[in-house]
Structures are given as structure tokens and as C-alpha cells.
């Protein structure tokens, strides 16, 4: 990766009655597939956790071992799904391929993210199972990857397991950072959560966007992941959620959210060629995420259509429909001089 300099961060300000009520500081990096930082706000070397934005890389061992896996099942392996019947059916198909059941999932349970799916569960008098966890597709994919690679399924979430060691290596390779530079914590679903420099995370998404359609090898697997996620945005997140709403509106865009307001974007056709963007809203304020995503896409040449603007409305309304405030986005992108590229 290229050396980096810290610049002014991006800021998303929520105003009420003409006065600032709250503000979110954002650090952001735009990187090409070689790891060169093309533009940045704040500190592109900020070490942070992509959380679920790592899922396309966590699914790479599966994609490498299963080149004929149906795209919808590969998409659900990359998903933070909402627990709708369509999502659960895709996870069950993926589980069946490895001879696994819901009892083999080590993600734990939580209610579906989708309000209708959560209400239906309550109406039936049922309780959430690990199948409803937003990461159950990732875990089902990990179980299948273990079977296909000949690794034990037992302990598949542990840092010392062969699967998790391979995922760590792939993060280092795609991010362009030494293994020792990656810090490991534990994610909400019990697998390792890997922290790395923001520009490294952006490079992972640039590699995802730039991967050529080859017949085999890592680039072919990355290309299939890109194709699966963009063909099935409904599986990657769910109704009304940013990933699902954003990808169909921007051809050649892959997008993946992570908890605590991390976001990764891979854009195949920008003025700079394939690029990856990663940003972190420093206070974890997820409501700032769509505003930053749209601002950086516009800076990369994506026209701000009415459909895109609707994902991040500048005017804020209360429950009675009255206009009560506005949202302002300051994105002071510092572009690297051409001679440094």
C-alpha cells in the first residue's frame, strides 16, 4: 500500500431548527486494486473492524472450493440477511449441501431484522433459532467450505481452525498488509473479527470489483462473488436496507455494510477504473452511512439520480410528516496528485 497522510475527515451534520444537533465524523479511503490511495478523508490508515463487510472475503474459501455453487447460495454466504422466508430457504439449501443442520450453526440466535418476519415469528409463538441470525448464511457457507476442503467442521469458528487461518491469510493478501498487522477480535456471531487499515479494506473491495472473469483461481472466485452479490442484492441484506436498495441503482457496484457504521464499496467502472472505497463513521452512527455512500459515489462520477437521493433524504420529517430538520454532508476528499499514482 502507498504511504498515507491524514486529512480533514468527512462530517455528516444533522440540523434541527437551523442549528446543528449532532454530527458524525467519517474516515474514508478510495483505493485502486494495486493498493494506491487515490483519495481520502481523515485517516486512510485508521485501523478498524470491517465486521460484516468482511463477508465477501470470508466466503472466498467456499467460492474457491465450489466453482459451480448457485449464485443465490453464494450471495447468502456473503449476506447480513434480514431473516425473511426467502433468506431462510437459501440458508437451508446451503446447509443441506454439507449435510449440516441448524444445530451445527455456531452463530447463536437473534430475531429477524425484517419487522414482518419478526412479527410472523411472534404470531406463531416461535422463538428465533440460529437460522434467523443475520450471519447464518456465512456460517452455512463456512461449514460447506470445511467439508469441501477436508477440514473438520468442529470448532470452525475458532481462530486456530484451518478455515479461519485461511480467511486471515486471504484478508492479508487482498488488503496488501502483513499478517502481523491484522488485529483479531471476536465478532457478534463468534467468528474472528479482523481489524485492518481502512485503505487495506478498500483494496479488498477494489480487488472484488476488478476481478476478471477467469476459469479458475482466486480471481475467478472473486468474480463469482461479485456477480452473485450484484445479481442477488435482495439476499445480501433485505427489504429497505441499504445494500439491497443501492446495488440495483448503480451498475457495476458491489456494496456491503458492517456493524458500527462501517461500509465497503467496489465500483467496477469509475473515471479512475475499478476502485474500492471503505469508510468508518467513527461514533458508529449508522444513520450517517447512506449519506456518505452517496456522496462518495457522486465524487466518483455516479450521477445523483432521484432514486439514489431518496436513500439519503436531506430533509428530515417527524412522525406527523412535518419537516423538522436537514442533513448536511461535508466530504473534503483529498485526491492524490497524478504523478504519485
Residue 263 lies in a domain: yes
Residue 1: the pLDDT is: 45
Joined grid coordinates for residue 254: 458491489
Q: Looking at residue 188, what is its pLDDT?
A: 97
Structural domain total, the chain: 1
pTM: 0.95
Q: Which DSSP string corresponds to 100-157?
A: --GGG--S-----SSHHHHHHHHHTT----GGGSTTHHHHHHHHHHHHHHT--STTTT
What is the rounded end-to-end Cα distance, in angstroms, of the chain? 11
Residue with cell string 496528485: 337
> For residue 258, is it within any domain?
yes
Q: What is the largest CA-CA distance in the chain?
A: 64
Q: Is residue 211 part of a domain?
A: yes
CATH code of 216's domain? 3.40.710
Cell 467496489 sits on residue? 266
In a domain, residue 189? The reply is no
pLDDT at position 316: 94
Give the domain range for residue 21: 10-184+197-340
Whether 191 is in a domain gets the answer no
Within a domain: 112: yes
Which pLDDT score is estimated for 211?
81
In sequence order, the 6+-apart residues with CB closer than 8 A to the CB of 252 are 209, 230, 267, 268, 269
Within a domain: 259: yes
Q: Is residue 286 part of a domain?
A: yes
Q: What DSSP string runs through 30-48?
A: EE-TT--EEEEES-TT-EE
Of 218, 65, 80, 89, nearest in space to 144 by CA? 65
Give the pLDDT confidence score for residue 216 in this predicted structure. Answer: 66
* pLDDT per 10-residue tile (average), the chain, 341 residues: 75 96 98 96 97 98 97 98 98 98 98 97 97 98 98 98 98 96 96 98 97 74 97 98 98 98 96 95 97 98 96 95 96 79 37
CA 240 → CA 112, 141, 158, distances in Å? 14, 25, 33
User: Which of 108, 103, 124, 276 shows the shortest CA–CA distance to 196?
Assistant: 276
Q: What would the pLDDT profile of 4-47 be if each residue is shown by its tens digit?
A: 678 999 999 999 999 999 999 999 999 999 999 999 999 999 99
Amino acid at each position: 500500500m502507498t504511504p498515507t497522510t491524514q486529512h480533514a475527515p468527512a462530517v455528516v451534520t444533522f440540523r434541527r431548527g437551523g442549528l446543528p444537533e449532532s454530527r458524525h465524523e467519517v474516515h474514508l479511503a478510495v483505493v485502486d486494486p494495486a493498493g494506491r490511495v487515490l483519495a481520502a478523508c481523515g485517516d486512510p490508515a485508521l485501523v478498524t473492524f470491517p465486521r460484516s463487510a468482511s463477508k465477501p472475503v470470508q466466503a472466498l474459501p467456499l467460492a474457491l472450493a465450489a466453482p459451480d455453487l448457485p449464485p443465490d447460495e453464494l450471495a447468502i454466504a456473503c449476506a447480513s440477511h434480514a431473516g425473511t422466508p426467502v433468506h431462510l430457504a437459501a440458508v437451508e439449501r446451503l446447509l443441506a449441501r454439507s449435510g449440516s443442520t441448524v444445530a451445527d450453526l455456531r452463530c447463536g440466535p437473534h430475531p429477524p431484522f425484517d419487522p414482518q418476519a419478526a412479527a410472523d415469528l411472534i404470531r406463531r409463538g416461535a422463538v428465533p433459532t440460529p437460522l434467523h441470525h443475520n450471519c447464518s448464511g456465512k456460517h452455512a457457507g463456512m461449514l460447506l467450505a470445511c467439508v469441501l476442503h477436508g477440514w473438520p467442521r468442529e470448532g470452525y469458528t475458532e481462530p486456530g481452525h484451518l478455515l479461519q487461518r485461511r480467511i486471515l491469510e486471504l484478508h492479508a493478501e487482498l488488503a496488501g498488509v502483513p499478517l502481523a498487522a491484522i488485529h483479531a477480535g471476536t465478532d457478534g456471531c463468534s467468528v474472528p473479527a479482523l481489524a485492518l487499515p481502512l485503505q487495506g479494506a478498500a483494496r479488498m473491495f477494489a480487488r472484488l470489483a476488478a476481478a476478471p472473469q477467469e476459469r479458475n483461481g482466486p480471481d475467478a472466485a472473486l468474480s463469482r462473488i461479485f456477480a452473485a452479490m450484484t445479481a442477488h442484492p435482495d439476499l445480501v441484506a433485505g427489504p429497505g436496507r441499504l445494500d439491497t436498495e443501492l446495488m440495483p441503482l448503480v451498475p457495476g457496484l458491489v456494496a456491503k455494510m458492517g456493524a458500527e457504521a462501517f461500509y465497503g464499496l467496489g465500483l467496477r467502472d469509475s473515471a479512475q477504473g475499478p476502485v474500492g472505497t471503505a469508510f468508518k463513521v467513527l461514533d458508529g452512527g449508522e444513520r450517517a452511512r447512506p449519506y456518505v455512500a452517496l456522496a462518495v459515489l457522486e465524487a466518483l462520477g455516479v450521477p445523483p439520480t432521484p432514486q439514489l437521493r431518496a436513500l439519503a433524504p436531506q430533509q428530515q420529517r417527524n412522525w406527523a410528516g412535518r419537516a423538522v430538520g436537514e442533513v448536511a454532508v461535508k466530504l473534503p476528499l483529498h485526491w492524490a496528485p497524478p504523478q504519485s499514482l
